[in-house]
Structure 1
Amino acid sequence: MSNPTKTSSIRPTRPDGSAASPTATRGPRLSGMNWLIWRQHRAGFWTLFVATAVTVAWLVYQRIDLMDYLTAHGWPDSDKWPEGVHRQRFQLVSYGLGFIPILLGVFLGAPLLAGDLENGTAKLVASQSVTSSRWLATKLGIGGLVLIVCTAALSIAFGRWWGPVKNEPTVLGWSDGSAFDNTGPVPVALALFTFVGGVVIGMLLRRTLISMVVTFAFAVVVQVIWSYFRLDLGHVVTVTTNKGINAFPQLPRSALEIDRSLISHSGQTYGWGTCAREVSDKVCVQKFDLVGWSVDYLPISQMSGMQWFGASVLFALTSAVIAFIFIRGRKRIV
């Protein structure tokens, strides 16, 4: 009876003939601090990835459904937007997407450092060979990267859905937050600023729950201030007429009218309701020597420039907050 031969697994070799370790042949994997931070927050990161994937898939489906609907009504040859359910869908979805920066700031930004400072993990990290700067950079880097990927994907998907009807103000006004804040770079910029705002609040308060509450208030204030100054990002265009008050100027399609006023022969302007207090338009024209209208508006062609300008301001503010986090972290992180 012959003895069975022993089989040994074939190990890969390097070009010089030496055996390579099994770990050397594996694909890229997280290790060290990157692995620690990912494992610590993996539940939140994976939840965000899955929610984003499902939402993007649904938005892609809605775009396909919209194109079928428009094609059935003669799009793009028809200038008339057919009334239907899509307007309501755009509004509901845009409202939901508008809450994303707030949710990211509260549930991702606020606990990022506050949780470690509260439960003592930060002290454990500080006792190791890892510097506070590297720990903060890894925390912010991984969290920020996940946030950018998800919000950018949502922005692109929503923008492609809204794109075919963006010139129809009856569907979704381009200057409103429903469209302006959910397309282009704005969602990423708003989410990043709210996220780092939550991080710095958690660093200062050092308690998770109270940090989340304060971050919620901070995020709401950011949204209110942003909506108040949104239209100031553009350059107002003025058009005047001199063919009488019955000849109102023709504005570009989807233009947002900012203000209108009556204009006299001398160039003086009067409120658009001036003639309502007079006996007749003829009497009003003679009394104030009116010759036409002066209208201020923002064209939709400025939308992209306004978005990038506003996003640049938010990115600059985000950078300033990040710099404060690192300065504060070097002095006192535990």
Structure 2
Amino acid sequence: MSQRPDVLVIGAGQAGLAAAYHLQGHGLTFQVLEAARRPAGSWPLPYASLKSFSPARHAALPGLPFPGDPERYPTRDEVLTYLETYAAHFRFPVVQDAEVTQVLRDAEGFRVLTADGRTFSSRAVVAATGTFRRPFMPVLPGQETFQGRTLHSLAFQAPSPFARRRVLVVGAGNSAVQIAVELAGGARVSLVARIPVKFTPQRPLGRDIHDWLTWTRVDQLTLGHLGRLPSLRHVFDPGQYRAAFREGRLDQRPMFTQFTRGGVIWPDGVEEAVDAVVFATGYRANLEYLRGTGALDRQGEPAQRLGVSRSVPGLYFVGLSGQRAVASATLRGAGRDAAVVIRHLARRPPMT
């Protein structure tokens, strides 16, 4: 593309592709810059057995249904194939092997630099790299002395290396429970969290929980509404998770107080030998390339409202956790968030 496009989208995962769909619909010129060799975002990174927490009919991006049985829960590889098919179906201008290292502002908008020395220019930028490439691992007392293995859930690929080991999984969300139950097939596992896990049936009254969230519009509630609701942090249980705890295949414990060389110390003062600790403790915004633009706070989080930068005109975000609603940063929420952001961008022509 010889002329400066209206928009550069950084990231060709679910958020970036949803943004591309709406940019195309508004007739704006754009390019999508993707660090990898396939338009799949962070989906190639998690463990192979990962399944979507929502059924296929809620896992589609705008304009193209997810193929196959709409009741099933797509695997990681099925999502990868769908994202590649989606980008090809709409013929999005995706530039692969374009890892963005820095975004600079200039008189005509933005210059975007990549790791291989290329420079791209545009009048506006949509940062769609989300959070799932920047794992968050807390640093706990004594952790530097621990002789066992510590890893984030992003680095977990299969349970076999942990067979017959004593393993702790730290976290109280869907990924933590899914990994813990999978590990429990061959290891001695405890799920460790500061708060007890709250289970919600995956299919109450015979319909998936996401159907109910959609019909009641709960997953479209904005952050302002969320502050007036009880906690929505629940683990969706298809049936086997709660049963695994009930049958004693693993247990749930309060957070340990510190590491030792050979294990951990529990709140009652008892030390236990541990071989490995898996932290399913979430992610932080993956936006280091925006350093120096004034778009990020001291913690590296974007100053934004509903995906619109508060401090940098022409800069937008899609795919942030909690960006707009309960479903933000998920497959089912990417399309709605992108629609809001691109509509705002289209109403305010990029800088010329």
TM-score (norm 1): 0.23
Answer with 1 or 2: which has the greater Rg.
1
More helix by share: 1
